[in-house]
Amino acid sequence: PFEVKLVQMVQLLRDGEPVKMSKRAGTFVTLADVVREVGKDVVRFTMLTRKPEAQMDFDFAKVVEASKDNPVFYVQYAHARIRSTLRKGAEAGLAPKGGDLALLCEEELGLVKIAAQFPRMVEAAATAREPHRIAFFLHELAAAFHAYWNLGNDNPRKRFILEDDPELTNVRLFLATQIGQVLKNGLALLGVEAVEEL
């Protein structure tokens, strides 16, 4: 059986100001107009970051900005970073083959723990008819990935590719592959493309 779930009205904003619409004058913005302006992936993901009963402000400027405050960009950027890392690994002749997970540090194991929740979270989201749980989860996983990535800026030993340690590099590339797959699968469930590069 087909099930329809209604959501609260969406207020459209442009740079924080309400978009003017008038039924009498016939000036209004359709969903097709919004999709044409910002893209289907942005609309889908943004709409699915709210519970159906929650009011939503959709700001055209905010949903396309490249920042961590934009959930769709943040998640897609994590996936693109992973794909870039895997390409660099392949260029260096390194393949994500797995290996000894005991080589992973605490932060890396934290990523594994978050990613391991994915199947149960999807099942719970489907049972409760709450797709926003998937969007929240993807944002949480992306945030954890970006936090780990940023550790490599301060400590070169935390980078995914270590030329002097191919064994640890292979394990980290394997971890990156798995995190990327979870992000890709989650985005696919929401009908959003997992971009290869930004």
- The verdict on 133 and 41 lying in the same domain is no
Whether residue 196 lies inside any domain: the answer is: no
Domain at 169, CATH number? 1.10.730.10
Split into its structural domains, the chain has a count of 2
> Which helix (DSSP H) or strand (DSSP E) does residue 11 occupy?
strand 10-14
Q: Helix or strand or coil: residue 102?
A: helix
Q: Measure the CA–CA gap between 172 and 188, rounded to whole angstroms.
A: 24
pLDDT digits (tens, 9 = 90+) for 36-90: 999 999 999 999 998 888 888 999 999 999 888 889 999 999 999 999 999 999 9
Residue 115: CB atoms within 10 Å: 20
- The verdict on 56 and 131 lying in the same domain is no
Q: What is the pLDDT of residue 94?
A: 85
pLDDT digits (tens, 9 = 90+) for 141-181: 999 999 999 999 999 999 999 989 989 999 999 999 999 99
Q: Any residues with CB less than 8 A from the CB of 22 and at least 6 apart, and which?
A: 28
With cut-offs at 50, 70 and 90, classify the pLDDT of residue 34.
very high
- The verdict on 44 and 14 lying in the same domain is yes
Domain boundary among 27, 44, 64: 64
- The verdict on 100 and 156 lying in the same domain is yes
- The verdict on 57 and 78 lying in the same domain is no
- The verdict on 79 and 172 lying in the same domain is yes
Q: How far is CA 187 from the centre of its chain?
A: 7
pLDDT above 90: residue 24 = no
Total-model pTM: 0.91
- The verdict on 88 and 181 lying in the same domain is yes
Domain boundary among 42, 64, 86: 64
- Residues 132 and 49 sit within 8 Å (Cβ to Cβ): yes
Domain residues for the domain of 55 are: 10-64
- The verdict on 142 and 168 lying in the same domain is yes
